[in-house]
Amino acid sequence: MRGNVVYIAVAAIFSITAAYARSTVAWLFLILYVLFLFIRKRRLFLVSVVASCLFYLHFVYMDQQNNTHLSYNMTVFLFRLTAPITIEGDRLQTIVNVNGEKLQLVYYIKSSREKQLLSSLLTPGTICKVKGTLERPALPRNPNAFHYRRYLRFHHIHWILTPQSILSQNCHLSSPTIYEQLLSLREKGIRQIEDHFPAETVGIVQALIYGERKQLDEALLEGYQKLGLIHLLAISGLHVTLLVGAVFFLLIRLFTRETATIMLLILLPVYVVLTGSSPSVIRACLTAMLFLAANYRKMTLPPLDTLSIAFLLMLIADPYMLWDVGFQLSFTVTFALILSSRVIMFCDSALWRLFWPALIAQLSALPLLVYYFFEMSLWGIILNMIFVPLYSFIILPLSVISVAVCAMNPLFSVPFMWLLQKVIVWSDKVVLLFSSSYPLSLTLGRPSFFLLIGYVAAILVAFVQMEKRRYWGIGWVFIVIALHALSPYIDRYGEVVFLDVGQGDCIYIELPYRKAVYLIDTGGTLPQQRETWQQRKRKWDVGKDVVIPFLKSNGVRSLDKLITTHEDVDHIGAAEEIIRTFAVKELLVSKGDGNHSPLQEKLLQLARQKHIHVLNVARGDRWSAGGTSFYVLHPSATDAKDNNNSIVLYAKLGGVSWLFTGDIEEAGEKELVNAFPRLKADVLKVAHHGSATSTTELFLDQIQPKIAVISVGEHNRYHHPSPSVIERLQKRNTLILRTDQHGAVRYTYVKNHGTFSVMLP
Amino acid sequence: MNCLICHTPYNPMMSWRHLLTIEKVDCLCSKCRHAFMRMNGEICDICGRPFAGLEPSHRQGRLCADCVRWQEDDEWKDVLTKNRSVYMYNEWMKEVVALWKFRGDYAIVQAFQEEFCREFYRHFDHTFLIVPIPLSAERLYERGFNQAKALAELLALPIHDILTRHHLEKQSKKSRRERLRTENVFQFSGKTSLQGKRIVLIDDIYTTGTTLRHAAKVLRQAGATDISSFTLIRS
What average pLDDT does chain B have?
A: 88
pLDDT at A610: 93
- Facing B16 at nearest CB: one of A3, A302, A463: A463
Do residues B75 and B183 share a domain? yes
pLDDT at B169: 61
- Contact of A40 with chain B, judged by CB distance below 8 Å, is answered with yes
Continuous segment of H or E residues that includes residue A702: helix A697-703
Interface of B with A in 184-223 (CB under 8 A): none
Using one digit for the tens of pLDDT, what is the confidence trace for B136-186? 988 899 889 999 999 999 999 999 999 999 876 665 666 666 666 667 888
Give helix A325-339 / helix A303-317 axis angle, nearest 10°.
160
Do residues B93 and B149 share a domain? yes
This prediction has a pTM of: 0.87
Do residues B42 and B29 share a domain? no
Contact B17 A302 (CB under 8 A): no
Interface of B with A in 25-84 (CB under 8 A): 25
- Taking the C-alpha atoms of residue A404 and residue A191, their distance in angstroms, rounded to an integer, is 14
**Mean pLDDT across the stretch A446-474?**
94
Residue A533's pLDDT band (cuts 50, 70, 90): confident
**Mean pLDDT across the stretch A15-32?**
95
Do residues B5 and B63 share a domain? no
Q: Which CATH architecture has domain A76-176?
A: Beta Barrel (2.40)
Do residues B12 and B123 share a domain? no
pLDDT at A650: 96
More confident residue, A245 or A640: A245
| Closest chain A residue to B17, measured at CA | A464
User: B188: domain CATH number?
Assistant: 3.40.50
| Closest chain B residue to A1, measured at CA | B1
Which of A544, A423, A503, A528 minimizes the C-alpha distance to A713? A503
Interface size, chain A vs chain B, as Cβ–Cβ contacts under 8 Å: 42
* Confidence check: pLDDT of A236 > 60: yes
**Mean pLDDT across the stretch B42-50?**
91
CA distances from A688 to A54, A147, A666, A728 (A): 57, 29, 10, 15
Q: Dihedral angle at the C-alpha atoms of A230, A231, A235, A240, nearest 10 degrees? A: -150
Using one digit for the tens of pLDDT, what is the confidence trace for B56-66? 888 888 899 98
- Facing B15 at nearest CB: one of A41, A301, A467: A467
Residue B26's pLDDT band (cuts 50, 70, 90): confident
Residue A633's pLDDT band (cuts 50, 70, 90): very high
Domain tally, chain B? 2
**Mean pLDDT across the stretch A73-89?**
90
Do residues B67 and B1 share a domain? no
pLDDT at A174: 87
Contacts of A302 in chain B (CB under 8 A): 11-12, 14
Q: How far away is chain B from the Cα of A364, in angstroms, using its nearest Cα?
A: 12
pLDDT at A348: 79
Which of B2, B3, B14 is the best residue to mutate to test the A interface, defined by the most A CB atoms within 10 Å of its own CB?
B14
pLDDT at A672: 92
Contact B14 A304 (CB under 8 A): yes
- Cβ–Cβ contacts within 10 Å for residue A518, how many? 22
Do residues B22 and B123 share a domain? no
What average pLDDT does chain A have?
A: 92
Residue A535's pLDDT band (cuts 50, 70, 90): confident
Do residues B133 and B20 share a domain? no
Interface of A with B in 696-715 (CB under 8 A): none
- Taking the C-alpha atoms of residue B104 and residue B99, their distance in angstroms, rounded to an integer, is 6
Do residues B19 and B52 share a domain? no
pLDDT at B9: 82
Do residues B216 and B195 share a domain? yes
Range of the domain at B6: 1-34
What region, left, alpha or beta, does residue A117 occupy, with left being phi > 0 and alpha being psi -120 to 50 degrees? alpha
* Confidence check: pLDDT of A49 > 90: yes
* Confidence check: pLDDT of A241 > 90: no
- Contact of A41 with chain B, judged by CB distance below 8 Å, is answered with yes
Q: How far away is chain A from the Cα of B83, in angstroms, using its nearest Cα?
A: 28
Contact A342 B13 (CB under 8 A): yes
Work out the percent of chain A whose per-residue pLDDT is above 70: 99
- Contact of A298 with chain B, judged by CB distance below 8 Å, is answered with no
- Contact of B17 with chain A, judged by CB distance below 8 Å, is answered with yes
- Residue A103, classed as helix, strand or coil, is strand
- Facing B16 at nearest CB: one of A3, A303, A460: A460
Contacts of A467 in chain B (CB under 8 A): 15-17
CATH T-level assignment (fold) for domain A491-526+538-758? Metallo-beta-lactamase; Chain A (3.60.15)
Which of A1, A2, A474 is the best residue to mutate to test the B interface, defined by the most B CB atoms within 10 Å of its own CB?
A2
Which of B2, B10, B16 is the best residue to mutate to test the A interface, defined by the most A CB atoms within 10 Å of its own CB?
B16
**Mean pLDDT across the stretch A534-553?**
90
**Mean pLDDT across the stretch A6-22?**
95
| Closest chain B residue to A344, measured at CA | B15
Using one digit for the tens of pLDDT, what is the confidence trace for A411-420? 888 899 999 9
* Confidence check: pLDDT of A197 > 60: yes
Distance, C-alpha A444 to centroid of its chain: 16
Which of A13, A461, A463 is the best residue to mutate to test the B interface, defined by the most B CB atoms within 10 Å of its own CB?
A463
Give helix A414-432 / helix A396-408 axis angle, nearest 10°.
150
Do residues B229 and B141 share a domain? yes
pLDDT at A447: 96
| Closest chain A residue to B12, measured at CA | A3
Residue A237's pLDDT band (cuts 50, 70, 90): confident
- Taking the C-alpha atoms of residue A644 and residue A110, their distance in angstroms, rounded to an integer, is 40
**Mean pLDDT across the stretch B202-225?**
91
pLDDT at B181: 61
- Taking the C-alpha atoms of residue A437 and residue A417, their distance in angstroms, rounded to an integer, is 29
Do residues B111 and B11 share a domain? no
